[in-house]
Structure 1
């Protein structure tokens, strides 16, 4: 899984905390991007935090990302 976060974005803090708890149970690559970077190819505007799953799907909801990383 790959997690995209940005400095200063409020939703990134709980996502990073969940990623810290998930270490050892799941492999999560954390990438810091700019708030204006478009990391999801099919979106027309930037969105972070974003979790790219191994299947290629994306999660955009902070709470959904936190739940997924706690599995």
Structure 2
């Protein structure tokens, strides 16, 4: 989550990421580990997955839990 929050985005902007994106890589975690955590974030509504691309995630700058 910290890596996603650190992505440079303008207010209400969006980024498309994949588990192998070097911008969200974490030393010691595999691409599969990152994919699993992205899936958990998607289940909580913090990232979105387009219907036709199950390996891509949309991250929005305006997403705030509890807001």
Relative to the length of structure 1, the TM-score reads 0.28
Higher strand share: 1
